[in-house]
Amino acid sequence: MTDQISTSYDCHACLKKSSQKPWISIDCPEGIINSCSYLCYKRSLDHIPKKHLHLIINKEDFSLPMPNIRTRHIEPLTETDINQLSDDDYSNYKSLLEEDIVEDYSSDETDESTDYDY
Q: What is the pLDDT of residues 91-100, one digit of tens each?
A: 888 888 887 7
Domain coverage including residue 46? 2-61
**Do residues 47 and 6 both lie within one domain?**
yes
Domain count, the chain: 2
Residues 6+ apart with CB under 8 A from 86: none
**Do residues 87 and 53 both lie within one domain?**
no
pLDDT value of position 32:
94
Task: Decide if pLDDT at 90 tops 50.
Answer: yes
**Do residues 6 and 51 both lie within one domain?**
yes
How does pLDDT run across 24-83, given as a tens digit for each residue?
999 999 999 999 998 999 999 999 999 888 899 988 886 665 555 556 677 788 999 999
**Do residues 50 and 16 both lie within one domain?**
yes
Residues 6+ apart with CB under 8 A from 47: 12, 28, 30, 33
- The pTM is what? 0.50
Task: Decide if pLDDT at 101 tops 60.
Answer: yes
pLDDT value of position 95:
85
**Do residues 83 and 53 both lie within one domain?**
no
pLDDT interval class at 109 (50, 70, 90): very low
